[in-house]
Amino acid sequence: MTFDLQTLVRPNIAALTPYSSARDEFSGTAQVFLDANENSLGSPLKKWFHRYPDPQQMAVKAKLATIKSVDPSNLLLGNGSDECIDILFRCFCEPGKDNVVICPPTYGMYEVSADINNIEIRKAMLLDDYQLNLAHIEQLVDAHTKIIWLCSPNNPTGNSLLREDIAYVLNNFNGLVVLDEAYINFSKQKSWIQELQDYPNLVILQTMSKAWGLAGLRLGITVASREIIAIMNKVKPPYNINQATQDLMLEALEEVGMVNDMIREIVAMRDALIPVFESMPIVEKVYPSDANFFLVKIKEARAVYEFLLTKGIVVRDRSKVVLCDDCLRITVGTEHENTLLVDAFAEWINQKQ
């Protein structure tokens, strides 16, 4: 199939002249900044917080690009991945006209963002093994389908989608295929980032919230062709990543070794916890996981969830989500937190005997 990006862009976005600050237009070294109506005397905090941040986050992108083995022009940074999701809708989906396909059960913000932007959602439910229903996806696609949203490893199920199925969608759909890899660092599966040159319709979402442990800083990453990124840059707010986040991100990106150690430790604890839960008499199934969480099918899931709350333990009740009947989603905690969790389950089981 021939992919033509220009046919996907909303006409008003294609014609849009984006907001441009003097910092966007200026390159080089300056001693005096009198362009942005800032408080030139400083701030009660660090001196440089009285200046607007780099609107293109070039220092952060340069470090990230090295880690991801891409060019900085292939990156857009968002205030969390949720902003990246919203920008994609606003760039490529005409409200009240276009549609997108999602594959439930999956991350809920695809549907929420579609509803906010008045975009029709079409649902191709996953199969019983939580893999893609390719035939159903094909049935749902029409001339107004702009984006297919995939999540791998998937949330809330934890499994990776089959690589050959993702490739099939990429090869047979002329719109954008957005692959959310928020949990890819915990998986043995390779990221699709290195496949960008082969698939011009591929958009990858990653995040600093999970493996990097920086959820409080709110930094999402879009990786795509420079042409797609250029369109998204027209729509993103000019200063969407604040200076504190950029400064702390530069520090964090020096600690790749520490992050890799944390990933190994979390995966080891996940793999140790799963057989413990599989041995519990109230557990009907623990689904395979390539993430830092796992999905558990459990008798009286809602009652167990509420009992855990009485113990000060919060897990995610997914028992009302399609294909997740009676399921709890459990994040891998610290060793101490995991022990408290297992002990609470043991207490519940003893009460039921």
Which domains are assigned to the chain? 5-254 (3.40.640.10), 257-352 (3.90.1150.10)
* Helix (H/G/I), strand (E/B), else coil: 99: strand
* Helix (H/G/I), strand (E/B), else coil: 191: coil
Range in 14-23, 67-76, 98-107, 318-327 the model is least confident about: 14-23
The pLDDT value given to residue 1: 63
CA quadruple 303, 306, 308, 313: dihedral sign: positive
pLDDT over 90 percentage in the chain: 89
The pLDDT value given to residue 27: 66
Q: Quick one: pLDDT band at residue 28, thresholds 50, 70, 90?
A: low
Q: What confidence tens digit (pLDDT) does each residue in 216-274 have?
A: 999 999 999 999 999 999 999 999 999 999 999 999 999 999 999 999 999 999 999 99
Residue 170 pLDDT > 90: yes
Q: What is the full DSSP assignment across 257-325?
A: HHHHHHHHHHHHHHHHHHHHHHTSTTEEEE---SSSEEEEEETTHHHHHHHHHHTT---EE-TTSTT-T
The pLDDT value given to residue 2: 79
The pLDDT value given to residue 144: 98
**Average pLDDT value for the chain:** 95
Burial label for 120, CB within 10 Å (0-12, 13-18, 19+), is: middle
How far apart, in Å, are the Cα atoms of 271 and each of 33, 53, 147, 201? 54, 42, 34, 35
- Position of tokens 């008003």? 12
204, two tokens: 């990858």
- Is residue 104 within 8 A of residue 122, CB to CB? The reply is no
Q: What confidence tens digit (pLDDT) does each residue in 109-136 have?
A: 999 999 999 999 999 999 999 999 999 9
Residue 23 pLDDT > 80: no
How far apart, in Å, are the Cα atoms of 55 and each of 217, 225, 298? 17, 20, 48
How far apart, in Å, are the Cα atoms of 126 and each of 100, 108, 329? 16, 14, 17
Residue 21 pLDDT > 80: no
Residue type, 138: E
Q: Mean pLDDT across the stretch 292-303?
A: 97
* Helix (H/G/I), strand (E/B), else coil: 239: coil
The pLDDT value given to residue 68: 97
Provide the greatest CA pair distance for the chain: 75
Residue 296 pLDDT > 70: yes
Q: What is the full DSSP assignment across 13-82?
A: HHT------HHHH--S--S---SS---TT--SS-GGGGSPPPTT-HHHHHHHHHHHTS-GGGEEEESSHH
